Amino acid sequence: MTQGKLRIIGGTWRSRLLPVIIAQGLRPTTDRIRETVFNWLQSDIPGSRCLDLFAGSGALGFEAASRGASEVVMVENAAETFKQLQHNVEKLAATQVKLLRQDALHYLSQALQGAESAKTVDFDIVFLDPPYDCALLQTVISLLILSAGTKVYLEARKGDDIDVPDNWLLLKDKTAGQVHFSLYEIKE
């Protein structure tokens, strides 16, 4: 399997290079986009609980952990990609990262069944960067019930029409090349 490299931009592991598998549908969030997103989130990351629902290369989850997130749950279904994530967690000794090998929709249905407060998924920040599949992203958004104050990072293909619930307040959004990315905050 062909490998590429992922550079962590900031925090404890700044400038560390991690191997990533080159696989169909896997598009690590670029350095430029990650730098913008984590500038947007800089005051929210330290001590936060983060969910990287479509972990892939781990670019967003490892960046959050490097910048002080207390817990990062990475969900990834592809076997080889998951194995590479395990290797990178060990390489970094990233004890705050919890890896789960399962389908994102299955994870959400389990999380909602086990949720204590009004069937919400309890994280401070949620990263949604699935393979470019508008229908999958729309399904995840419709299933995701979050507490007020939660921040949601959404990455999609430029031009995809994504509907979000009325209680998702758009804080920031930007386009870079063929990628449109946004940051929302859940309101009451």
* φ, ψ (nearest 5 deg) of residue 81: -65, -40
pLDDT of residue 136: 86
pLDDT at 61 over 80: yes
Rg from Cα positions in the chain: 15
Mean of the per-residue pLDDT values of the chain: 90
**Planar angle of CA 74, 173, 56, nearest 5 degrees:** 20
Contacts for 162 with CB less than 8 Å, ≥ 6 apart: 134, 137, 138, 141, 154, 156
Contacts for 37 with CB less than 8 Å, ≥ 6 apart: 29, 60, 153, 181, 183
Whole-structure pTM value: 0.92
pLDDT of residue 1: 53
pLDDT of residue 115: 53
Beta-strand relationship, 179-186 and 151-157: antiparallel
Confidence of residue 22 (pLDDT cuts 50, 70, 90): confident
pLDDT of residue 117: 46
pLDDT of residue 86: 97
Confidence of residue 118 (pLDDT cuts 50, 70, 90): very low
Confidence of residue 98 (pLDDT cuts 50, 70, 90): very high
Report percent pLDDT > 70 for the chain: 91
Write the pLDDT tens digit of every residue in 71-86.
999 999 999 999 999 9
Is 3-186 a CATH 3.40.50.620 domain? no
What are the residue ranges spanned by the domains of the chain?
3-186
Write the pLDDT tens digit of every residue in 120-159.
568 999 999 988 766 888 999 988 889 999 999 999 999 9
Look-up: residue for tokens 């009325």? 166
